[in-house]
Amino acid sequence: MAAGWTASLAGALFGTLLDVLPIVSIMLIFQLVVLRRPIPNLKRVAIGFAYVVAGLALFLVGLERALFPLGRTMAQQLTDPAFLRDGPDDALDWTDYYWVYLFAAAIGFATTIAEPSLIAVARKAKEVSGGTIGEWGLRIAVALGVAASIAVGSFRIVTGTPLYLYMMAGYVIVVLQTMFTPPTIVPLAYDSGGVTTSTVTVPLVTALGLGLAATVPGRSPLIDGFGLIALASLFPMMTLMGYAQISALRDRRRSAAQTRRER
């Protein structure tokens, strides 16, 4: 067991070093050749580079050893016919998988709330807007969108319906919402889809989709198992713009009520 962990960590360190080297090389070339300036705080930069490589390597090992098996195991347990059926002769349909939909929504919400990229964007949005955009309001709105997307994506896998139908309908809604959403929030809403599909969300969601497609009868992991990430990028745009629209409507009503009182 220890030898397996050591080999995985060594392989991850070597692979991460190779992945990061092109980025470092480009930065060094521009700093030393184009700008012709020495690297400031070279010791701190080197230590930071070592932290980056070690952190990414440990993260990759964690994905391989923990998150992917966890998502696959949960999908297998939740789709076990012995767990879903009331009796031995009962046939399964999409309504019997309600625990799968609930788990998918819960894991989508929890992973998004913990997503480092979303936390960074929410803090910057609050800072730039002078507090007009609330950090927690933005994070919860995006997390609700991801929760809905993973639940809908799980329903799609169970029923076997084509992914493009959900994507087409979703983007029609996004385009319509864009027309009626305050312009200040639209770019942030479009970016929110990208920041949700990052380091924490993607591994668990991918493992869940593949595990679900592998255990639901008649589904193919290759055809049906992927696509949850696409939905996870789509739904946050809808929920965040919806949150902005509700906030704008509430502000207009508050302003109208204040105007009536002043009269």
pLDDT at 105: 92
| Tens of pLDDT, residues 206-219 | 888 888 888 888 88
Please compute Rg for the chain using Cα positions.
Answer: 23
Position 214 in a domain: yes
Tell me, yes or no, whether 102 and 189 share the same domain. yes
Residue 55 in any domain: the answer is yes
Shared-domain flag, residues 150 and 216:
yes
pLDDT at site 36: 85
- Would you call 96 exposed, middle or buried from its count of C-beta atoms within 10 A (0-12, 13-18, 19+)? middle
What is d(CA 52, CA 19) in angstroms, rounded to the nearest whole number?
11
Q: Which residues contact residue 196 at a Cβ distance below 8 angstroms, ignoring those fewer than 6 apart?
A: 112, 115, 117, 118, 142, 145, 146, 232, 233, 236
Please tell me the distance from the alpha carbon of residue 230 to that of residue 163, in angstroms, as a whole number: 9
Average pLDDT (53-78) is 79
**Quick one: average pLDDT of 222-233?**
86
d(CA 52, CA 41): 17
74 is a domain residue: no
Rounded to 10°, the helix 98-113/201-215 angle is 170
Residue 152 clears pLDDT 80, i.e. is over it? yes
Q: How far apart are CA 132 and CA 135, in angstroms?
A: 9
Q: What is the pTM of this model?
A: 0.77
Per-residue pLDDT averaged across 18-36, rounded? Answer: 86
Q: Which two tokens stand for residue 261?
A: 């009182």
Could you tell me if 63 and 83 lie in one domain? no
Q: What is the count of structural domains for the chain? A: 2
142 and 206 fall within a common domain:
yes
Q: Do 86 and 196 reside in the same domain of the chain?
A: yes
- Rounded distance between C-alpha atoms, residue 19 and residue 61, angstroms: 15
> In the 8-state DSSP scheme, what is residue 194?
H
Q: Where are the alpha helices (DSSP H) in 41-80?
A: 42-62, 68-78
Digit-coded pLDDT (tens) for 155-179:
999 888 999 999 999 999 999 999 9
* 37 Rama class: left (phi>0) / alpha (psi -120 to 50) / beta: beta
Q: With 0-12 CB in 10 A as exposed, 13-18 as middle and 19+ as buried, what is 239?
A: buried
Confidence of residue 147 (pLDDT cuts 50, 70, 90): very high
CA distance 163 to 75: 20
Among 195-204, 221-230, 240-249, the range scoring the smallest mean pLDDT is 195-204
Give the rounded distance of the alpha carbon of 221 from its chain centre: 20
pLDDT for position 60:
78
| pLDDT score of 238 | 92
Q: Which domain holds residue 18?
A: 1-67
pLDDT tens, 73-129? 777 777 776 666 655 545 666 777 888 899 889 988 988 888 878 888 888 888 887
Domain assignment present for 144: yes
Are 34 and 102 found together in one domain? no
Q: CA-CA distance, 94 to 141, in Å (whole number)? A: 27
Please give the mean pLDDT across all residues of the chain.
83
CB 201 within 8 A of CB 150: no
94 and 191 together in one domain: yes
Same-domain status, 23 and 129: no
Confidence of residue 1 (pLDDT cuts 50, 70, 90): low
